[in-house]
Structure formats: C-alpha cells, structure tokens
Structure 1
Amino acid sequence: MVVKAFSVDLNQPLVFQVGHLGDAYQEWVHQPIVSREGPRFFKSDFWEFLTRTAWWVIPLVWLPVVSWSILTTIQRGLSPSMAAYLALIGIFVWSLMEYSLHRFLFHIKTSSYWGNTLHYLLHGCHHKHPMDGYRLVFPPAATAILCIPFWSLVKSVVPYTAAPAVFGGGMLGYVMYDVTHYYLHHGRPSQTVAHNLKKYHLNHHFRNQTSGFGITSSLWDSVFGTLPPKKV
C-alpha cells in the first residue's frame, strides 16, 4: 500500500500542519514563498495576534530596559565610562549568542511532529516566508521569557555591581540585531556596508542556507569557517 505524502494547505493555519511533513519538512521549509503577505499560523485570533510584531515595538519595549540596566550599574557605584565599557562587553557577548543561536538552534534538523512544529514557530516560518514583515522580529513576550535564564547566567558570573550593565549591553545587542534583521529584508540601503550586509543575508536565504549565520556582521562566520563560498 502506497501512503500519499502529506501536503500543506497554505490557505489554512500552518502551525499544526507542518509537523505532519516528517522528513519532508526540511526540504519544504527551505523553499521560500516571496510574498509580503504572511500566512495564518493559528485558528485562534488570540494566539495569532501574539505571533505578529511590528519592528518598532522592539526598541520601544527594550531600550528602556537597556537604559535602566546601565543606570543601575552607575547607581551601584561604577563610573559612567566603566558602565559603557561593560555594556560593550554585553554587546560582544550577544554577537556570539546571535551567531550560535542561528547556527545551532534555528537551523537544527528536525523530522518529528513536535520538532517540526516548534522549529517552524522558532525560525522555519521565516525561511518559508522571508518577507513577512510582522514575523521578522521576536515577540516581546517570548523575549521576556528568554531574558530570565540570560539574566540568571549574567549575575552568576559577573560581579554584582557590573552585572546590570553587561545584561543591558546584551539587550542592546539584541535590539540592534532585530532591527537590523528587519532592515536587511525591507530596507533599501545605499551605503556600501549596509548594502553588502543585505546581500550577505539574502544569500543565506536564497542561495546557501548552511552558511552565513551572522546577521549584524560576518565576524563569527569568519572565525568559525562558515562564510558563504565565493562565486566561481
């Protein structure tokens, strides 16, 4: 008996369909649909609302947290210049996290029902619909949950007075990452650096999805040997 392969109905909510693709999910999710109109994820309007975020919400929500964190370090007795230095360390740490998350978590290979479903929610949806403007940045509610282990890690390894500024720097790095990511998809950069970064990222989407994991820079791709191959 031949079992017919599962086919995703793009006119129906997608999240609870993609798990049924099994081993075929990886091929399906990396065949992009280039449209500014995003798919529906959930039948429930409430859950659907939580998946959609405008880019400007990210700095609006998180820059006050960044400012408060750095100010807290100053209030604990460190100088503004030292707080700024610690924030730069946080940005650097985030840059490595950005690369690592994208390479090892966002591009993890899955085939089980729940593995496919969770991967689609986390990053697969972005590769399937790369121009969906409301799913290019991470919803604040999900970010807030992930901040808990990040803050716990920072305060466990960084001295009491310095920890808030390092955390704030990390959050600033995250804000820079998310708004840059949005711009690389929907902006029209005229400056050379931004233009090349856009080409670099779109290459990851449309030519070689197993390299070029950096978003805000190609630094860690250079360090770990995941630069895209040069055109011959």
Structure 2
Amino acid sequence: MAGKGFSVDLNKPLVFQVGHLGESYQDWVHTPILTEKSPRFFESDVLEIFTRTVWWVVPVVWLPVAFYFIKMSYTMGHTLPQVAILSVLGAFLWTFHEYCFHRFLFHIDTKSYWGNTFHYLIHGCHHKHPNDGLRLVIPPAEAAVLALMFWNLYGILFTLSTRPVMFGGGLVGYVMYDMVHYYVHHGQPTKQSLKSLKKYHLNHHFRIQNKGFGITTVLWDRVFGTSPTTKAADKSG
C-alpha cells in the first residue's frame, strides 16, 4: 500500500520505504524528528558505511586536492597574486553553485517512488533528521562525482591555465560550505555573523523551507528574491 495509507517504520532501514509515501512524502520529510540518533538507511552494512561521514573528513580529503589544483595554475605560469585572486573568485563562484543546488535540486518536489527515494538520499534525510551529525556533510564518494562534473564544466568555461585554480578555489568554497553548514547545526557561535547565519538556516529548516537557500552567504537569496519573510510580514499578509 502506498501514498497516504503508507506509514514509515522508523525502526527499519528507511531509504527503500520513503518512496512508498507517494504524494504525502513532502509533508512527511518536512516534519523533522529532533533527535541526534542516526537512523539506518540500508540493510547492507557496506552501503550503510558510505552514508555516514564525520565532519572532519571533508577538509582532510578535499583541501589537499584543492591546493594541488591551485598550485597547478601557478606552475603553468600564473603569478601568486593572480592565483590568489582567481582562488577567491573560484570560491565565490561556488556560493552560486551552492545556492542553485540547494534551491533547484535539493528542494525538488517529488511524489514518485524513485523521485522520493532520490530526494531523501540527497537532502530529504537532512530535513527529516536535521540533528543527525553523521549525515550532514557530503560523503567523499558523492562529492567526487560532483567534483568531476565541475572539472568538466570548467574545461568549457575557462582557459587551460585558469581552469585548475578556479576549480581549486571552488573546492575551498565547498569545504567552507560544508563546515559552515555543520557548525550552524551543531556549534554554538559567539560571533554575530555566525549567529545570524545559524538563525537564518534554522529558519529555513523549521519555519519557511522554500526560502533561505544560502548557507555560507545570503547574497544569492537577496539577488533572486528568495530571502525568507519576517514573522511580522507573515502575520500582516
């Protein structure tokens, strides 16, 4: 039985259950369970390993790769100031990619079995279990697929010598994204800027989930009109 008549058993592996929710999946996945328990996804222990990632794996794996590519552009003839500027531009460009992924892919509206299953794996699980610290950062295997995609895209967008540094800068931006994302969920910021980011992101989770897609910056939400409204504006509307 599927759709409204289906009930997910939280004591069993979740991934191949959620597709059966049909049209009721979106309501289910956006009703969070506020526990730090990390639910089981698969029966297979091997598959299960690849779904859990501790936060520090991201900088350990990807920062050396980023610096390798940044150095590549230097060895190809770019000066240090040029490399520094292009790295910053690459990181800034990542913030736009981050926004687009979050808005147009992570929040797709699904109702089919495989659509629901796919959405749950890439982002729905985070909204259902926002305090699960092992399913917050992107697993390296998944990130490697995305990295390969961007490397090929940057081969079209940039010259041979600027491609590596833009890619490396983008990887630095990605690491910052995953670290900020983890921190706004599990850290206790004292600086006002980080407090504001934490409030902004938790607002996306718990109040208005179709707004506020930026994680490391609110810039693109402002540019594209997806900044969340205030509670006062909600009441007046």
> Aligning the two structures, in what range does the TM-score lie when normalised by the shorter sequence?
over 0.9
Report the equivalent of 2:5: 5
Matched, 1:215 2:197: no
Deviation at 1:4, TM superposition (A): 6.9
Deviation string 1:146-191 (CA, Å, 9 cap, x unpaired) is: 1111001112221111110000011110000001000000000011
Matched, 1:68 2:63: no
Q: Which amino acid aligns with 1:5?
A: G
Report the equivalent of 2:190: 190
Structure 2 runs not aligned, ≥5 long: 233-237
TM-score (norm 1): 0.98
| C-alpha distance in structure 1 between counterparts of 2:4 and 2:83, whole Å | 60
- Alignment check: 8 A CA contact 2:4 2:21 kept: no
Report the equivalent of 2:39: 39
* CA-based RMSD: 0.9
Report the equivalent of 1:128: 128
Report the equivalent of 2:164: 164
What aligned pairs does 1:74-223 form with structure 2 within 5 A after superposition? 74-223=74-223
| C-alpha distance in structure 2 between counterparts of 1:130 and 1:157, whole Å | 36
| C-alpha distance in structure 1 between counterparts of 2:231 and 2:145, whole Å | 41
SS in structure 2 of the partner of residue 134 of structure 1: helix
TM-score (norm 2): 0.96
| C-alpha distance in structure 2 between counterparts of 1:76 and 1:170, whole Å | 19
Deviation at 1:230, TM superposition (A): 1.2
Report the equivalent of 1:26: 26
Deviation at 1:89, TM superposition (A): 1.3
SS in structure 2 of the partner of residue 141 of structure 1: helix
Q: Which amino acid aligns with 1:189?
A: P
Identity of matched residues, %: 58
| C-alpha distance in structure 1 between counterparts of 2:74 and 2:4, whole Å | 64
| C-alpha distance in structure 1 between counterparts of 2:137 and 2:186, whole Å | 12
- Regions of 4+ moved over 4 Å: none
| C-alpha distance in structure 1 between counterparts of 2:20 and 2:149, whole Å | 32
| C-alpha distance in structure 2 between counterparts of 1:4 and 1:108, whole Å | 20
More displaced 10-residue stretch of structure 1: 144-153 or 185-194: 144-153
Q: Which amino acid aligns with 1:81?
A: P
Deviation at 1:231, TM superposition (A): 2.0
